[in-house]
């Protein structure tokens, strides 16, 4: 309910937050970390290009260690053994294997982000900027300030 009817989508919220921090001179003094709906390295790149100083991830990290998205985290009955204190369920999680899978996810994500940085002419992940982005979605262009790649917003 909150996500679909009350909250602001991540990308427009990020663009709005960065614009506000820049307008009040808080950039450099306030670190902007964004989360919500960021699942793959391209999402992380987009967030950084829109001015995020960092990204916080949860679902993709959880899935990399074996989460099956049963949506039972609050019940103590996680079938993957991740979100539980029950010994019989916890035994389902191979911690060594899961930690290696998480390491692989982070390393692969970083590598793909570095490939995108080089493709954009950057030698550092911190160099992504809004000029690296374009969208075909008129609403997204209007809400986020990302360049529209169609024929024009006025048509």
120-155 pLDDT tens trace: 999 999 999 999 999 999 999 998 999 999 886 655
Name which of 35, 154, 129 is nearest 43 in CA terms: 35
Q: Number of folded domains in the chain? A: 1
Alpha-helical runs (H) found in 6-146:
10-23, 41-49, 59-64, 87-90, 95-119, 138-144
Spatial distance between the Cα atoms of 66 and 144, rounded to a whole number of angstroms: 34
**Is residue 151, in this structure, part of any structural domain at all?**
no
Contacts of 98 (CB under 8 A, 6+ apart): 65, 66
Answer whether residue 154 is part of any domain: no
pTM equals 0.85
Closest CA to 47 of 58, 63, 36, 62: 36
Is 55 domain-assigned?
Answer: yes
* CB-count exposure of residue 116 (10 Å: 0-12, 13-18, 19+): buried
Q: Is 48 among the domain residues?
A: yes
Is residue 155 a part of any domain in this protein?
A: no
Three-state secondary structure call for residue 143: helix
- Calculate the CA 30 to chain-centre distance: 19
Which structural domain, as residue segments, surrounds residue 38? 2-146
pLDDT by 10s per residue, the chain, length 155: 555 666 778 999 999 999 999 999 999 999 999 998 899 999 999 999 999 999 999 999 999 999 999 999 999 999 999 999 999 999 999 999 999 999 999 999 999 999 999 999 999 999 999 999 999 999 999 989 999 998 866 55
Q: Is residue 25 part of a domain?
A: yes
Task: Give the model's pLDDT for residue 5.
Answer: 64
The pair of structure tokens assigned to 63 is: 């899935």
């Amino acid at each position: 309910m909150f996500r679909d009817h009350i909250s602001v989508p991540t990308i427009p919220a990020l663009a709005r937050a960065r614009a506000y921090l820049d307008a009040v001179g808080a950039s450099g003094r306030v670190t902007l970390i964004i989360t919500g709906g960021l699942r793959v390295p391209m999402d992380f790149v987009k967030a950084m290009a829109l001015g995020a100083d960092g990204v916080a991830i949860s679902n993709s990290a959880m899935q990399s260690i074996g989460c099956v998205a049963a949506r039972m985290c609050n019940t103590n009955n996680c079938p993957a053994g991740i979100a539980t204190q029950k010994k019989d369920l916890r035994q389902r999680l191979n911690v060594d294997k899961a930690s290696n899978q998480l390491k692989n996810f982070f390393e692969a994500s970083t590598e793909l982000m570095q490939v995108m940085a080089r493709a954009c002419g950057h030698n550092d992940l911190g160099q992504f900027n809004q000029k690296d982005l374009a969208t075909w979605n008129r609403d997204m262009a209007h809400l986020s300030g990302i360049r529209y790649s169609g024929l024009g917003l006025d048509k």
